[in-house]
Chains A and B, each alone.
Chain A
Amino acid sequence: MDAELSVPALLGFGADGWGWALMAAAGLTLAVALAAMAIGAVLGAALAAAEASRRVWLVRIAATYGLVMRGVPELLVVLLLYFGAPGMLAGVAGLFGLPAPGSPPAFLTGSLAIGLVSAAYQAEVFRGGMLALPRGQIEAAMAAGMGPVVRLRRVILPQVLHHVLPPLGNIWQFNLKDSALVSITGLAELMRVSLVAAGSTRRPFVFFAAAMVLYLILTSASSALFRMIERRGSRWAGGR
């Protein structure tokens, strides 16, 4: 038991210190969350578009996806991809007569899992954003002779972004925190590293507290950033 090592030594950047490991882990957490957000944004936009389309089967698929992914615990999705990915990939490879590729990197399965869930929530947000845009604004832009690209850039996007930014900020926060679930894949993000450190030094309280502080820094910096972006983008919207 490292009872002799003080807290600063444990957390510090010296020989026995876990400081660098924790910093790197926090960076990896950020990376996982970013990747998940990106995957969720692309997939979410596709789902929103599908639900807005007139094709019944597209709408049904999108709606079912949303229902399932919002109703199922994120941990289960992570488990699905972590345990199931090698088998699924092997099956797909087998169809083409290729050898099984083994298990994909933990970063990939982890961020994909979070991203798949995030997509369901982002789809809802995008749907709401599309609905919130008053039709009259588009008509005014058309009447003024703006082409589709200009309309998108100057009229549609700014207004949709304004509606969409606050809930996306929330989803980002959830992505940051859900990244902790990726720890079960063994990826050395913050949750996992603090767990490993706690186990190896037998000082769980110290390392979990340190991890909490690091997560708090990530989440509060994020909300400050989002608030700033919202304020900058809302100058035309007037006060509430």
Chain B
Amino acid sequence: MDFLGTTSLGLLRAVPVTVLLFLASALGASLVAAVLVAMQQARVTQGLARAWIFVFRGTPLLLQIFMVYYGIAALGPIRHGFLWPAFREPLFCAWLAMTCCCSAYIAEVLRGALGAIPVGQIEAALACGMGRWTRLRLIVAPQVLRLALPAYGNELVMMIKSTSLASSITVLDVTGVAQQVIAHSYRTLDVFCLAAAVYLGMTAALTAVLRRIERSLDPLGSARR
């Protein structure tokens, strides 16, 4: 088969790795983000949450990945501990770094959405005697989901792109395979275009799914009377 064909196949075969890393990181980051937002509501835990968000939003993901893979994995307790089988795997280290990093960005998205809930609707919930959990369940959570969806979707798209950094610690994701092909063929532009197409395909698919979710949550769309 010709070069373009073989390369395309090779790249496509790496898509499951990228998708797996993306989905696992998205799940982990969203859960941690929810915890962070909860922590920001209580005075005791507020500082820790803000520190976490500050550190993970203020440093490059690449550095965080190296920190986990080379830094933390080199520490005695990790190397000789029961967690070593996990930290030994580059994919795990990439996942851990991405989860911590993206959780900070998602937490900010959620915080913005929380603040965007019209105050009057909260007051209406207070005025009829709804307790804290009832308010959260009936009013706050549904509104936050709707308000956060566009920005959250943007973060997810950025996460797909961020998975490419895993290639720097030997993970054979789409970018990792692309790097290998470029290194021994030097047909850089061709490989770039193929890899770009693969990523654009993934982000297009994600955007389509997000748009469908947006429509189902908001059946009226922007239709006003």
Contacts and interface: CB of A to CB of B under 8 A. Distances in A.
A76 B60 contact: no
Interface in A124-176: none
A73 to B, nearest CB: 4
Contact of A216 (B58, B61, B189): B58
A83 B61 CA distance: 22
B70 A198 contact: yes
B70 A208 contact: yes
B104 to A, nearest CB: 12
A183 B62 CA distance: 10
B85 to A, nearest CB: 20
Nearest to A82: B188
Nearest to B167: A75
A88 B59 contact: no
Nearest to A214: B59
Nearest to B179: A79
A73 B55 contact: no
A180 B175 contact: no
Contacts of A212: 55, 59, 63-64, 67
Q: Which bucket holds chain B's interface residue count?
A: 35 or more
A180 B195 contact: no
A80 B192 contact: yes
Contact of A191 (B63, B188, B192): B63
Interface string B181-205: 0110010110010011001100110
Interface in B152-167: 157, 161-165, 167
B131 interface: no
Contacts of B199: 71-73, 76
Nearest to A75: B164
Nearest to B163: A73
B127 interface: no
A84 B189 CA distance: 7
Contacts of B196: 68, 71-72, 76
A205 B75 contact: yes
B143 interface: no
Contacts of B179: 79
B84 interface: no
A73 B164 contact: yes
A208 B175 contact: no
Contacts of A73: 161-165, 175, 199
A179 B63 CA distance: 11
A104 B20 CA distance: 37
A204 interface: yes
A83 B74 contact: no
A194 B63 CA distance: 9
Given A184-B168, A208-B66, A79 B162 contact: no
A76 to B, nearest CB: 6
Given A75-B167, A204-B70, A204-B71, A219 B58 contact: yes
A220 B58 contact: yes
8 contacts: A71-B200, A73-B199, A80-B189, A80-B192, A194-B63, A204-B70, A204-B71, A212-B63
Q: Across chains A and B, which 9 residue pairs bring their CB atoms closest together, nearest first?
A: A84-B188, A73-B164, A180-B60, A177-B60, A219-B58, A73-B161, A204-B70, A205-B71, A208-B67
